[in-house]
């Protein structure tokens, strides 16, 4: 089976926002249908409602964590786990990219494009963020679902 991030990148290339691309790629974990995934995540693209705040890949991953790991029989513990994973994911991406904001990622790409005389393909940084988000999210979900077959 190809890496999950390939499906995410495909959704993104079809015009779905970062959050939608991530959430729709994890329906087997979240229990959401593809359509519901796209609906739920629609407002998170462009850094939360297009305001260029937290990157949509991150908010999408946190939606997946919440829908996958929340346990109504033990809401306090499951919510703490979701928060811990969300914070870890965000920190790992901040460490690599220097930011977790959509605006910061866009600015980083603009800097790289100007420095490399536009050799880098436009949108490449977002694709890297999506790929890394999925790689990290895969590991988190596998650790909570050790018997789950991909």
- Residue-wise pLDDT tens digits, 28-82: 999 999 999 999 999 999 999 999 999 999 999 999 999 999 999 999 999 999 9
149 falls within a domain: no
Q: Does 66 fall in a domain?
A: yes
Task: Determine the Cα–Cα distance for residues 117 and 112; give it in Å rounded to an integer.
Answer: 8
**CB 88: neighbour CB atoms within 10 A?**
12
Whether 134 maps to a domain, the answer reads yes
pLDDT digits (tens, 9 = 90+) for 106-115: 998 888 878 7
Q: How many domains does the chain have?
A: 1
- Cβ atoms of 24 and 56 within 8 Å: the answer is no
- Other C-beta atoms closer than 10 Å to the C-beta of 129 total 24
Whether 139 maps to a domain, the answer reads yes
Q: Which domain holds residue 133?
A: 4-144
Residue 3 binned pLDDT confidence (cut-offs 50, 70, 90): confident
Query: Are 133 and 61 a contacting pair, CB within 8 Å?
Result: yes
123: three-class secondary structure by DSSP: coil
pTM: 0.92
Residue 150 within any structural domain of the chain: no
């Amino acid at each position: 089976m190809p890496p999950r991030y390939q499906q995410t990148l495909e959704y993104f290339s079809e015009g779905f926002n970062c959050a939608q691309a991530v959430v729709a790629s994890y329906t087997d974990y979240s229990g959401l249908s593809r359509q519901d995934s796209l609906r739920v995540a629609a407002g998170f693209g462009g850094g939360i409602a297009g305001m260029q705040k937290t990157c949509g890949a991150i908010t999408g991953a946190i939606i997946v964590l919440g829908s996958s790991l929340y346990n109504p029989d033990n809401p306090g513990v499951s919510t703490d786990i979701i928060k811990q994973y969300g914070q870890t994911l965000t920190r790992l991406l901040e460490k690599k990219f220097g930011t977790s904001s959509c605006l910061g990622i866009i600015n980083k790409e603009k800097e790289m494009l100007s420095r490399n005389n536009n050799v880098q393909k436009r949108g490449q940084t977002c694709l890297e963020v999506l790929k890394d988000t999925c790689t990290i999210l895969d590991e988190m979900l596998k650790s909570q679902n050790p018997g789950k077959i991909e």
